[in-house]
A and B are shown apart, each in its own frame.
Chain A
Amino acid sequence: MVAVETYQTVAEAAAGLGEGARYLGGGTIVMRQVNYGDQGFHRIVRAARPERGIGNDVQGLRIGAGTTMADILAHAELSFLHPVAGQIGGPAIRNMATVGGNLFAENPYGDMAAALLALDAQVIMAGGQTHPMERFLADRKHMRGLVEAVSLQRPQPGAFYYRKVSRVKPKGVAVITLAALIRGGEPRVVFGNMAAAPMRAHAAERALGGGVSEASIAAACAVCTEGLSPTDDALASAWYRAEVAPVHLRRMLESGGHS
């Protein structure tokens, strides 16, 4: 059996978490677990007024954890994230699924988390602490507390690259998700579904350190799967993912960044 506890704010909900509880955001992850009788929790904790919406803070853009994919698509200022949000689910999913939830989505989901990792976003917890995305994703299973928002710098026009590879048309669940931020001498290249959580391809980043060129793309593709352990699931084998990852990295980098 499950019990539902509703708090007003995320901070109050965070205080109410504790044993056997799971936080319900948009429902697309947790309600699925409830429907399938997940024995890992027996309390649903939710906030009536989670932070939802897009604003500016000292870091740059601040996106509330309760912001839905549809909210992002309705926000012209976040146009660089539209290719990411627009390819998640159908309209109904996008009206429900939140940015905060996506940070916890397990493979093969989590496209937005991959994009935010590439964008070097910071995760802001309900208590005010912040974690870089990279550390947050590595520790998310053991992370205490609740996510209040994420903050990030708006990328320079054309600096953000994104590609979702799916076997279903017009779109479907990702075989691989790719995202990259090409800025100055420290590019960030991220793969989704190539490890337990979205992960940077450091070898590819080093290859692209001198900028995007035909030669650097080739060099990055040659080493892009180093250190990654692709997912093996019903959508694709680990072997297949490793084989096609360089192909899609090249296509993404050649097709240019989003603005």
Chain B
Amino acid sequence: MAKTPVTFTLNDTEAALFVDPGASLVDVLRRGAGDLTPKQGCAQGTCGACTVLIDGVPHLSCLTLAETVQGRRVDTAGGLADGPALHPLQRAFIDGFAAQCGFCTSGMLMAAKALLDHNANPTRDEVIEAISGNLCRCTGYEPIVDAILSAAAQMRGQPALQQGAL
């Protein structure tokens, strides 16, 4: 079948791929570019596990026609860490026990990153709103919201919020 060439920036690296017509971005990221961090949970835009940033703005990669990212920038959870140095969100998710099975985590992190990138000091309600398109079935949302607030505090140069007994 005829494939379409697509070039885009994936986490600071140039990606050049041939994609099947109708292929979704999550499929192309995973099987074409080999970035397995976005997960496909529903393929219908309800779970948020495939959330990536396109030009800095959160999108559902399962509902994004892959060829529409031509010339654009795509950021995934695979690009969060700076080498071995974790992003403050990643650190806060670990310290705050904000992941259990881990399947929603990549999408949660990207939704949270999109928030913190333009709002350094979000309220709890703003955090809840930012992840309102991301479903979690095991951890529960409270540790995730706490972790995002904690990461925000740390990124502002304040000590991380108290994480309770852990």
Contacting residue for A4 out of B21, B51, B59, B115, CB 8 A? B21
For chain B, give the interface size range: 20 to 34
Scoring B residues 19 to 33 as 1 if CB is less than 8 Å from chain A, else 0, what string do you get?
Answer: 001101000000000
Q: Is the CB of A171 within 8 A of B22?
A: no
Q: Is the CB of A35 within 8 A of B44?
A: yes
Q: Is the CB of B4 within 8 A of A171?
A: no
Contacting residue for A96 out of B22, B48, B64, B67, CB 8 A? B64
Q: Is the CB of A31 within 8 A of B58?
A: no
Q: Is the CB of B63 within 8 A of A46?
A: no
The residue on B at minimum CB distance from A34 is: B22
Q: Is the CB of B129 within 8 A of A27?
A: no
**B7-15, B83-91, B131-139, B152-160: which one contacts chain A?**
B131-139
Scoring A residues 25 to 51 as 1 if CB is less than 8 Å from chain B, else 0, what string do you get?
Answer: 011100110111000000010100000
The residue on A at minimum CB distance from B54 is: A95
Contacting residue for B133 out of A1, A2, A32, A89, CB 8 A? A89
Question: Do A35 and B43 form a contact, CB below 8 Å, given A2-B22, A44-B22?
Answer: yes
Contacting residue for A3 out of B21, B63, B134, CB 8 A? B21
Q: Is the CB of B64 within 8 A of A31?
A: yes
Q: Is the CB of B111 within 8 A of A91?
A: yes
CA distance A96 to B130 in the complex (A): 15
Question: Do A91 and B130 form a contact, CB below 8 Å, given A32-B63, A34-B22?
Answer: yes
- 8 Å CB interface, B115-153 against A: 115, 128-134
Most buried by A among B48, B63, B128: B63
Chain B positions within 8 Å of A238 at CB level: none
Question: Do A46 and B132 form a contact, CB below 8 Å, given A36-B43, A95-B58?
Answer: no
Q: Is the CB of A35 within 8 A of B21?
A: no
The residue on A at minimum CB distance from B55 is: A95
The residue on A at minimum CB distance from B61 is: A92
Question: Do A2 and B21 form a contact, CB below 8 Å, given A32-B44, A171-B132?
Answer: yes
Is A219 in contact with chain B by the CB < 8 A criterion? no
Contacting residue for A92 out of B1, B2, B133, CB 8 A? B133
Contacting residue for B60 out of A4, A36, A96, CB 8 A? A96
Chain B positions within 8 Å of A27 at CB level: 63-65, 68
Is A184 in contact with chain B by the CB < 8 A criterion? no
Scoring A residues 86 to 123 as 1 if CB is less than 8 Å from chain B, else 0, what string do you get?
Answer: 00011111011000000000000000000000000000
Could you list 8 examples of A-B contacts with CB < 8 Å?
A: A28-B60, A32-B43, A35-B44, A36-B43, A70-B57, A91-B58, A92-B111, A170-B129
